[in-house]
Chain A
Amino acid sequence: MNKLEEEIQRLRQELDRKKEELTDLRKLVGKDVDREFPPAVEGMSDRELEIYLRDTIPLINSFVETKPDLRALKSHRKVFGRPVLAFKRAMLETTVRPLEEFIERQVKFNRQAAVLLQALHQRSGRYAARIKDLEEKIAGCEEDLALLKSDAGKK
C-alpha cells in the first residue's frame, strides 16, 4: 500500500467516525434537505381531490373562529406573571375592540364558507355515486348493442 492509499484509508476512517457522531441528516450533508410543496390541486385526479378535501375541510373548520380569546392568554413568569398578563389583556382589548365589528363579520363569513364547502363536498359525493350508477347502466346498454350488432353482422 502506497502513501496515497494509506492517507485515503486514514481519511475515510476519520470521516466514518465523524459520520457516526452526527445523527442529524442536515448536518451530514451541510444543508437543509426538506422543502415545502404547495398542493398541485389543478392536476389532481378525483381520488386525489377526495383525499385532499377530506384532509383540508377539518383544517379549515379549525380556523373558523378568528376572534382572539382573551382567556387563552397565559404567562409562565413566576414573579411578574400577573402584571404581564394584565398588560397583555389590556393591550389586546384596546386593539381588538375597534375591530370587533369586522372580526364578527369575518367569523360569520368563515362559518358560512365552511358550511358551504361541506355542502359542496357532500353534493359532489352524491353526483359521483350517481355518475357511477349511470355509467354501469350505459355499459349494460352498450353490451346489448354490441350483441345486436354482432347478430346483424351475421345476417
Chain B
Amino acid sequence: MTLPGTERGLTRTVERLARRDGIQAARNMLAKREIALGLRRPTLAVYDHAFQFIGGAQKYGLTMTAALGDMFDITLLANKEIKVADFKDWYGLDLSDCRVKIIKIPFFEARGGPHLDPAFVTRDIENPFHLVSRESGNYDVFVNNSMNEMVYPLAPVSVLICHFPERRPMSYFYADRYTRTVANSRYTAEWIGKKWGFAPHRLLYPPVDMEPGENGNAKKKIILSVARFEPEGFKRQREMIDAFLKLRRLRPEAVGDWRFVLAGGSQVKNAYLDRLREMIADSGGAVELYVNLPAADLKALYRDASIFWHMCGLNREDPGETEHFGMTAVEAMQNELVPVVYDGGGLPEIVDHGVNGFRVKSTAELIQRTLDLLAGPGRIAALGKAARDKARAFARSNFETTARSIFDEVLALLKAPEDPAAE
C-alpha cells in the first residue's frame, strides 16, 4: 500500500478514486484504511429476507453471526420486523449485542404478506432489492445469507452464503460479485459450479445440535421421519406412508408392533397434509402424524425412535427438489437412529452406505433395507452407534470453528493493502 504520508496525499487519492470508480470505491478505501490503522472495530452486516421465519438457513446464518460477536460490531438486516429475543427461543442463540435494521421494500410491502419472494422480480421492474444493496455499502463486511442473489454487494468485503443456487444467472444476478462464496454442502458447491460457473471458496456444513440429554436413548420400535410437510410433496411423505402400509399389510409378522411416526412443520392450509391424514386414517394408530411440534417433543421423538426414513429427492430430476444437505438426518444420527435415506443431494455426504446407515434409490430398496434391520435388532444398535460417531462431524462446535476461520480470512482481506492501481 502506498500510504500517503500526508493528509493531502490521502485526500488526492480519495478524490481520484471517487472520480474514476465512484463514491463507494472511495468510501471503501477509507474504511479499509481505518481498520488497517486500528481506528475502530470492523463492522459486519448479515442480511436475510426471511429472518422473520423459523428455518434451517436462518439458523445457519444466525449461528454463524453468534460465533463472530467478538470479531465485529454486528448489524442484522431484515426486510420485515424481527425481534432478537425470538432467536433465543427459536434457536437458543443470544444475539442481544447485535443491532437490527429493518429495510422495508415498497414493492413487497404493496404486495402484502409476510413472505418476500424474489421470483416476483423481473427485468421489467427496477430491482427493489437495491435498497439493501445501498445499505450493504455502509459496513466493512456484508454477508448475504438469503437465497437471493439480487443484492449487489457494495461493502469492501462481501460474503455470499449459498444454501443452494435456485436461479440460473438472469435478471439482477450478482452472485459472482461477492468477494467470497460459502457453500453449505459439496452438493451445493457442485451446483454452484454447474449453474453459476464458478467454484465457492469455502465449505461450511450447517450446525446440528440435537444431541440427546443425559437420560440417554431408550429406544422403541419407531421408524421416524422429520421433514416439513411441503404442499408440493417434495419431502415424499406420501411415498413413505405407502411403503410402510404395504410392508405392514404384506409382512405383518416382520413389522409386528413397529410404528411409523412423521413429524414436521406446515402452514395452516395444506392440501397435501390433509391427504396424508386421509391415508393414515385406517392404520389403527400404526402411523402417526405430528405437525409443528414443540422442540422438546421433537427431541423426545428422536430419543425414542430407532430408524430414520428420509426420501426427499425420490423420483425428482430437478436438483433443487433434492435435499441440499439433510439436517434432520444428522439430528437423527446424533440420537443413534439408523438412517435409511434417499441416495441423492447432500445425503451421501452424511450417510456412509452400510457403515452408519443405508442410502437407497427407490421405495423397494427402502422396504428391503428396513426389513433387514427389523430382522436384526443388534444391527440397529451397532449401526446407531456408528451413526452417532459420524454425526459428531456436524456438531455446532465444528461449525463455529470453521465459521471463525472463514471470517479470519475475511478480516485479512479487509486489512490487506488496496489495489496499488487505485493509489
Contact = CB atoms under 8 A, between A and B. Distances in A.
Interface string A18-46: 11001001011111011101011001111
A146 interface: yes
B53 interface: no
B174 A33 contact: yes
B296 interface: no
B363 A37 contact: no
B39 A8 contact: yes
B154 A150 contact: no
Contacts, number: 121
B123 to A, nearest CB: 8
Contacts of A90: none
A46 B321 CA distance: 12
A126 to B, nearest CB: 18
- Specify the main secondary structure of chain B where it touches its partner: helix
B168 A37 contact: yes
A19 B137 contact: yes
A15 interface: yes
Interface string B345-368: 000000000000000001111011
A22 to B, nearest CB: 6
Interface string B109-141: 000000000000000000000100110010000
B23 interface: yes
Contact of A11 (B30, B194, B239): B30
Nearest to B168: A40
Given A8-B30, A37-B173, A29 B154 contact: yes
A30 B20 contact: yes
Interface string B12-35: 001000101111111100110110
A145 B250 CA distance: 12
A5 interface: yes
Given A15-B30, A28-B24, A146-B364, 20 more contacts: A3-B7, A7-B7, A7-B10, A8-B30, A8-B33, A11-B26, A12-B31, A15-B27, A19-B23, A19-B24, A25-B152, A27-B22, A30-B22, A40-B168, A43-B195, A45-B318, A45-B319, A48-B168, A147-B250, A150-B254
17 contacts: A4-B7, A11-B11, A11-B30, A15-B27, A19-B23, A19-B24, A27-B23, A28-B134, A29-B152, A35-B173, A46-B318, A47-B320, A135-B315, A139-B315, A142-B362, A142-B364, A146-B367
